[in-house]
Chains A and B, each alone.
Chain A
Amino acid sequence: MTDMPDRPALLTRWRPRGAVWLAAPAVLVLLLALAYPLAIVVVRSFTDPAPGLDNYVWFFQSAVNRTVLQRTFVVAAWVTLVSLICAYPYAYAMTIVGRNLRLALILCVLVPFWLSGVVRTLAWVILLQDSGVINSFLRGLGLPPVKLIRTLPGVVIGMTQVLLPFMILPIYSVMKGIDTRLLQAARSLGAKPWKAFLQIYVPLSLPGVYAGAIIVFILSLGFYITPALLGGPRSILLSSLVQNQVLSLLNWGRGGAMGVVLLVTTFVLLAIAAPLMRQNHSSTRREA
C-alpha cells in the first residue's frame, strides 16, 4: 500500500543561533536564589555541627519527626484530592459557558492570588473557629458544633482554598484544547453521552490533571503559613518543624536534613508518577 507522500515543507522552523541566551536572566536568578542556597542547606545538613550523618540519624530516630513527615504527605494527598474534586467540574464549566461567564469564573480563580496569604488564612480562622461563622450557623440549625480550627480537616480546607487555582488553571488549559467534536463522533459510533465523556473527554484531560496534581501536591508539602495558623499541636507539618529547628533552635544542620528528606521523597514520588504521565500518548490539540 503506497500512500500519497506528504510534500516536504517549504519553510522550516525559524531557529536563530544563540537563542538559548534568552534564558540567561532566568537561569542566573535560579542559580543565585535557588541552587546556591539549596547547596548550602545540603552541605550543612552533612557538616553542621560535625561532619557525618548525625542529623539524618537524629531525624529518623525521632518518632515525632517520622509522624510529622508521614502526616505532611497525608495532608498533601488530601489537599490534592479535594482540590481535584473541586477543580475538575469548575474547569469544565469554564470551557462550556459563554464568554462573559467564563471571564467571571477566571476572575474568581485569580482574585485569591491578589490577596495576601496571611489575610486569607486569618479569614479562615474567623470562619472555622469554635465560635466562628460555620459553628454559629450549625448552632442556629440546632446541630452540634464541629471542631475545625487546629484540626487536620481545618488545615486541609484552608490549604485547598489557597491552592485551588494551581489545580484549576492547568486543567482548564488542557480542557480548552480538547476538540469537543470528538464527543459527537463518539456518540455517532454508539456511545451514550456519559460514556463518551468518560472514555474520550476524561482521558484527554488527564495531562492537565497530572500537571495540576503535581503542582498542588508539591506546594502542599512545603506549605507553612496556612497550616501554622489553622493547625494545632496535633496537626503540625514538617515546615513548622523546620522553622522551629532553624529559627528557634538555630540548628541549621537538622533543619537542612529535614529539607533534604522532603526534597528526596518528593523526587522519588515524581519518579514514580512520571511513567504514568508519559502513558498519555496524545496531542489533544485539534489537527489543522
Chain B
Amino acid sequence: MTASAGAAIEIRKASKRYGAFTALNDIDLHIRPGEFMTLLGPSGSGKTTTLNLIAGFTDISSGTLEIGGKSVTGLPSHKRNIGVVFQHYALFPHMTVGRNVAYPLTLRGIRGEERDRRVKRALDMVKMADFAHRYPNELSGGQQQRVALARALVFDPPLLLMDEPLGALDKKLREWLQLEIKRIHRELGTTFVYVTHDQEEALVLSDRIAVFNGGRIEQIGTGRELYDHPATLFVGRFIGESTVLRGMAETTGDGTTMIIGGQRIFAQGRLPGEARPVILLRPERVGLKRAGADAVTGENRLSGTVTEAIYLGSGSKYEVRLADGTVAVVRSPLGAADFAIGDTVDIAFLPTDLTLLPDDASADVTLT
C-alpha cells in the first residue's frame, strides 16, 4: 500500500427513487481528498443508498456524482476502482485468506512476486499475515472483517467505502477495530466513507459527519460542531444524550422566554421566522442543586424529583422528572454533591448553555 492521494467526491442535487419511494431526496455532499467522512443516520435514512450510488451498485435517478473530478454516471462498479467493505464481510468462502486478498490484484493483471509482496503488505497492515493459508470459515468475525479490509485496500484505491463494517461484532471488538481503522486511515491518506447508525462510532472515527434523516442530509460537520451546535432537533437528539424542553415561548429583545411547567426560562438568541422553539440541553451542561439553594445570577432553574441515580465512576448520571413531566438527563462531575432517588432538586443552567432549535415532531418518532 503506497500512500496514494485520496479522491474527492462531489455529489450535487442527487436523488434516488425506487418507484414511488424516494430513498434519497436532493442531497449535496462534498467529501475532501483523504477525509474520513461518516454517513450517520437511522435505518432507511438514505446513508446506505448514498454509499451504493458512490460504489456504483445502483444508478442515480437525478443529479450528478463526481469521483476524483470525473463524472462516474453510468460507470459500472467494476470500473470505478473503489474499495468496498461490507457488513457481512463478503469473503469468498472457497478461497484462502491469501487468495481472497490476491483476487483484485489478479484481476488487474498483477502476478508473481509483485502480487505476493502486496498481499503480504496488506495482510501485515491488518495484522493477519499469519492467517494467509486459512479459509474464511476458520476465522472469527473480527478476523474476517480485517481480511476484507486488506482485500479492499490491496489495490491502492483512492477511495474506500465501508457499510457498517463493525455492525455484526461485539462491543469490545468493535472499539478495538475502530482504532485500527483510524490508524490505517492515517497511514494511507485514502478517502474513507463510512456508514453507521452508531453515533459514538461516528464521533470516534470521523473528520466530518453527515447526518441523514428521511432521505435528506440534516447537517454536515465535525463531531464537535454537531454536538455543540446542532442545526436541527433531529441532529441534537441523534448525537449524544439530550433533554428537550417544550413550552409557551415569546421573544424578548435579543432573547426568548419560555414557560415550562409554570417556571420561566430565559434563552439567549431567537429563532428566525415563525418556527416554534424548543430547548435542547446537554446533560453535562446542567447542574443539579438542592431546591431553591445556591442561586447564581441569570441562572435558569426548573424544579423536579430525582427518579434515577447512577454512579459511573467518572461521575454520576441522574434522571430528574420535571414539573411538566419531562425527564431531564443530568451528568454531574466527580466531586459534585450526591443526590438520591426521591430528592427534590432543581436543575440549573445558564441561558448560553442551551441550544434553541425549531421544533420538529419527526425527530422524536424517527429515533425509536
Q: Which residues of A contact B (CB under 8 A)?
A: 1, 3-4, 6-7, 179, 181-182, 184-193, 195-196, 199-200, 203-204, 280-284, 286-287
Contact = CB atoms under 8 A, between A and B. Distances in A.
28 contacts: A4-B142, A4-B173, A6-B140, A182-B90, A184-B57, A185-B84, A185-B86, A186-B103, A188-B55, A188-B77, A188-B78, A188-B83, A189-B78, A189-B84, A189-B103, A189-B104, A189-B107, A189-B155, A190-B107, A190-B108, A192-B78, A195-B107, A196-B78, A199-B103, A282-B93, A283-B93, A287-B88, A287-B141
Contacts of A287: 88-89, 136-137, 141, 144
B151 interface: yes
B81 A200 contact: no
Nearest to B175: A4
Q: Which 9 A-B pairs have the closest CB atoms?
A: A185-B90, A282-B93, A189-B104, A188-B84, A282-B94, A190-B107, A1-B127, A4-B173, A187-B78
A181 B93 contact: no
Contacts of B155: 189-190
Interface string B112-128: 00000000000000011
Nearest to A185: B90
B360 to A, nearest CB: 35
A281 B135 CA distance: 8
A281 B94 contact: yes
B333 to A, nearest CB: 32
Contacts of A284: 93-94
A220 B80 CA distance: 49
B142 A286 contact: no
A280 B95 CA distance: 9
Interface of B: 55-57, 76-84, 86, 88-90, 92-94, 103-104, 107-108, 127-128, 130, 135-137, 140-144, 151-152, 155, 170, 172-173, 176
A286 B127 contact: no
Contacts of B77: 184, 187-188
A190 B83 CA distance: 9
Contacts of B142: 3-4
Contact of A286 (B88, B144, B152, B176): B88
A190 B107 CA distance: 6
A187 B76 contact: yes
A280 B94 contact: yes
A283 B137 contact: yes
A204 B103 contact: no
Given A185-B86, A189-B83, 16 more contacts: A1-B127, A1-B130, A6-B140, A179-B90, A181-B86, A187-B77, A189-B84, A189-B107, A189-B151, A190-B81, A200-B92, A281-B94, A282-B135, A282-B137, A283-B93, A287-B136
Nearest to B78: A187
A193 B108 CA distance: 15
A78 B228 CA distance: 74
Given A3-B140, A189-B103, A281-B135, A184 B94 contact: no
A1 to B, nearest CB: 4
A280 B137 CA distance: 13
Nearest to A184: B57
Contact of B88 (A181, A187, A190, A199): A181
B146 to A, nearest CB: 9
Nearest to A279: B94
B92 A182 contact: yes
A286 B81 CA distance: 26
Contacts of A181: 86, 88, 90
Contacts of B151: 189
Contacts of B130: 1
Nearest to A189: B104
A275 to B, nearest CB: 16
A193 B103 CA distance: 15
Contacts of A190: 78-79, 81, 104, 107-108, 155
A130 B89 CA distance: 59
A185 B100 CA distance: 11
B88 A191 contact: no
B94 A204 contact: yes
Contacts of A1: 127-128, 130
A81 B57 CA distance: 36
B87 to A, nearest CB: 10
Contacts of A189: 78, 83-84, 103-104, 107, 151-152, 155
Nearest to A190: B107
A182 B57 CA distance: 13
Contacts of B127: 1
A7 B140 CA distance: 11
Nearest to B143: A3
Contacts of B78: 187-193, 196
B51 to A, nearest CB: 11
Contacts of A283: 93, 137
A186 B55 CA distance: 12
A195 B107 CA distance: 9
Contacts of B92: 182, 185-186, 200
Contact of A179 (B79, B88, B152): B88
A4 B176 contact: yes
A191 B94 contact: no
B99 to A, nearest CB: 10
